[in-house]
């Protein structure tokens, strides 16, 4: 019995979860969301940060076989520092 291999290992980004992968002969679309088990952290003081806003963005990835357009769609999250000074 053969199994169709999954594309999921190709798009394994730490901190992100693959919501869906759609593909046809011209486009591969990978939709990601933040891994909700992980907290958002301030990049300056590394404290847990709050979520200010979320915007859906996309980026192109390397071609996959004969498919030239590989689009990664992801949630871009703007956080705010919960630290006393914000630093």
40 binds Zn ion (CB under 5 A): no
Min dist CB 66 to Zn ion, Å, is 46
| CA 41/CA 43 separation, integer angstroms | 6
| CA 79/CA 43 separation, integer angstroms | 10
Residue from 7, 18, 21, 45 touching Zn ion (CB under 5 A): that is 45
Residue from 22, 39, 44, 60 touching Zn ion (CB under 5 A): that is 44
Please provide the DSSP assignment of 58-73 as one string.
EEEE--BTTB-EEEEE
83 binds Zn ion (CB under 5 A): yes
Residue from 7, 21, 41, 42 touching Zn ion (CB under 5 A): that is 42
82 binds Zn ion (CB under 5 A): no
| CA 63/CA 16 separation, integer angstroms | 21
Q: Phi/psi at 9 (nearest 5 deg)? A: -60, -20
Binding site for Zn ion (CB under 5 A): 42, 44-45, 81, 83
């Amino acid at each position: 019995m053969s199994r169709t291999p999954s594309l999921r290992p190709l798009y394994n980004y730490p901190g992100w979860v693959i919501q869906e992968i759609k593909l046809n002969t011209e486009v591969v679309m990978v939709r990601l969301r933040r891994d909700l088990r992980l907290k958002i952290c301030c990049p300056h003081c590394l404290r847990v940060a709050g979520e200010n806003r979320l915007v859906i963005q996309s980026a192109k990835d390397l071609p996959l076989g004969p498919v030239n357009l590989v689009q990664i769609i992801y949630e871009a999250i703007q956080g705010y520092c919960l630290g006393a000074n914000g630093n």
